Amino acid sequence: MGGPGDPPEGTPEGGPAGGEDEYRPVVFDESFVRAARLQEYSAEERMADHTPAVRRRPPLHRGLHRQLLVLVVLFAVAMGTAVYMSVRHPYGSPQVRRSAEPLRTTVIPLAPTAEVPGGADAESLYAHSPAAQFEVGAEGIPLPVARGTVHFSDSQVVTALTSAKDYIVRSALYPEVLTGRQSAPARALVDADQLDQFDQSFARPAADGRHAATGWVVRFDPARTQLADDRIRVQGDLQAVEADADTLEVTADHTLVYALRPTGAPAGARASLFTVRRELTFSFTRDDLRTHQVQLLTSYVQAGPLACAEDSSAYLRPLLAGQTARSGGPAGTDPFATDSPAVLCGTLATPRPSAPPAP
């Protein structure tokens, strides 16, 4: 009887003594056989005029290996694209949002030294004033050549300049804003952090250096004044600089000249010119550039002819043709109160006619 490791029929004749088989450690299981690169033809196949005794089998899982290779390549391309876009993204990495500073406003009335001149034709008034060479409307607010800064691209600087120009146009050239009917066109561009200050300035205007509606927009008292000509003359410039790695600043210095007449006056009534010198400082974070909104840091306004005694925080109330400034300066300044702003008033110089254009 064979041992526990011998075949049931015993050791075959001619086998090695002791039942040892020199090929016993080699196990040719089914998977090994299927994986062989060479396969012997069957007896039936060899009888069908097959000269070679073996045939080469195609490698297994070639399709699977190819799919894995394609997936690896696609993953590498996706990762490379993600890294490239993160480096080249025009707005950089997200920054911690900083709250906008409140706008600081200064409105200085300019009182005339004589009777305000006037005329029936607004075009003639413009032609004989320093505004004769000014452009009309937004044409007087040209964009400078934009150059990128250390931390901001050319396109970001252009966006800041364009947003500042849009605000100037909406706040000083829109008829519905000038006549005091609306403030929404300008408000739509104001950074969300400044909207409370903006709204309070129109709901409860005050000459406190923070809440003058006329620091945000140019607006005339509709009960007294109307536009005699909506072709407003404008001259000025814009400049952009990098305040820090996260902020762009744009300074705007413009002179605007309006033709006005009394409210309800007929079209042929005498008109007069009113001049506003407006210096604004805008601030732009990357969020502002993305949303095309503005933060106003400072607003310095000189306007005339105005009476010094008039409160110009809610509306500008121009002196019109034939009127003169009453004597006396502005009231309401308390030198003993540290929180009381100084009320300033200037003198409006007599306009000198511009030189006629060269032939």
**Preceding peptide of 12 cis, ω within 30°:** no
Query: Token pair for residue 305?
Result: 């002819």
Do residues 261 and 228 touch, judged by C-beta distance below 8 A? yes
Query: What pTM value is reported for the model?
Result: 0.69
The pLDDT of residue 71 is: 81
Mean pLDDT per 10-residue section of the chain, whose length is 359 residues: 53 53 57 58 61 56 68 81 58 56 95 92 94 96 92 95 98 96 96 97 96 97 94 96 94 97 89 97 96 97 94 96 74 43 70 47
